[in-house]
Amino acid sequence: MKNEKSKIKGFTLVELLIVIAILGVLAAGIIIAIDPVQQMARARDASRKNNIGQIGTALVSYYASHAASYPTADANWLSNLVNAGELKSVPPSVAYSVSGTSACSTATVVNGYCYNTTGTGGTNAEAVAWTILESKSSKSNCTGTNLPIWFYSTVEGKACGACVAATNTVVSPTQACSFQ
C-alpha cells in the first residue's frame, strides 16, 4: 500500500509530446484553411472597390457641375476631383502584392488608379476609372492571363468588374461589366 500512495501521478514526456504534435497539426490545418495571405488580398480588393465607387460618384458630380465635362485625363485627374470638392482626398496608393504589377501603362495612373475619357471637341463625354484586383476569388472570374479589374464607367453608371488582357490594360468607358 505504501508504494502505491507514493507514486506521483502525471503525464509522461511521450504523452506530452504526442499532445503537442496533435495540436501542431490542428493549428497548421486551421492556418491553411484561413489562408491569411488571401484574406489580406480580399481586404485590399474591398478597399479598391470602395475607392473606385467613390471616384465614380465624384466623376458624376464633377460632370454635373463642370459644363458636362469630366476632368482631363492627365496626371492631375484625381487632384482635380479633390480641388473641385467632389472627392474629400486622393485615395491612398494601391500596393500590389506582386512586384512589377501596374494597373495601366498610360500617364493617367495616379496612386494605382487609372483613368480614361472619350469625347470630341475638347469635351470629355464619357469616363472610366479602374484598378486591378488581386485576390484568388477575383482572378477566378478571368481566364488565362487576363487580369481582373474593378471599374466605374459613366456609360454603365455603376462600378463592376471585368477581365482585360494583361498586355492591354487601357480600359474604355464602354467596357462591359462581366462580374459583380
- Using one digit for the tens of pLDDT, what is the confidence trace for 92-110? 888 776 555 565 766 588 8
Measured distance CA(115)–CA(118) in Å, rounded: 11
- pLDDT, average across residues 159-167: 86
Q: Is the pLDDT of residue 147 over 90?
A: no
Confidence at 28, pLDDT banded by 50, 70, 90: confident
What is the pLDDT, as a whole number, of residue 75?
Answer: 87
Measured distance CA(141)–CA(178) in Å, rounded: 8
What is the pLDDT, as a whole number, of residue 162?
Answer: 92
Record the pTM. Answer: 0.79
Q: Is the pLDDT of residue 125 over 70?
A: yes
What are the cell numbers at 20?
503537442
Three-class secondary structure of residue 152 per DSSP: strand
- Structural element, H or E, at residue 117: strand 114-118
Q: Is the pLDDT of residue 49 over 90?
A: yes
Three-class secondary structure of residue 25 per DSSP: helix
What is the pLDDT, as a whole number, of residue 1?
Answer: 52
Q: Is the pLDDT of residue 7 over 90?
A: no
Measured distance CA(116)–CA(179) in Å, rounded: 21
- Structural element, H or E, at residue 162: strand 158-164
Q: Is the pLDDT of residue 122 over 80?
A: no
**Average model confidence (pLDDT) across the chain:** 85
Confidence at 5, pLDDT banded by 50, 70, 90: low
Per-residue model confidence as pLDDT tens digits over 73-94: 888 999 999 999 999 999 988 8
- Structural element, H or E, at residue 130: strand 126-132
For the chain, give the number of residues: 180
Q: At what angle do helices 13-34 and 36-65 cross, to 10 degrees?
A: 20
In the β-sheet with 114-118, what is the strand arrangement from edge to edge? 114-118, 126-132, 147-153, 158-164
- pLDDT, average across residues 41-50: 93
What is the pLDDT, as a whole number, of residue 3?
Answer: 59
Pick the residue with more confidence: 99 or 119?
119
Which residue do the cell numbers 496626371 mark?
Answer: 75
What are the cell numbers at 137?
476569388
Largest pairwise CA distance in the chain: 106
Which residue do the cell numbers 469630366 mark?
Answer: 70
What are the cell numbers at 42?
480580399
Q: Residue 96 CB: number of other CB atoms within 10 A?
A: 16
First-to-last C-alpha distance (Å) of the chain = 76
What is the pLDDT, as a whole number, of residue 117?
Answer: 87
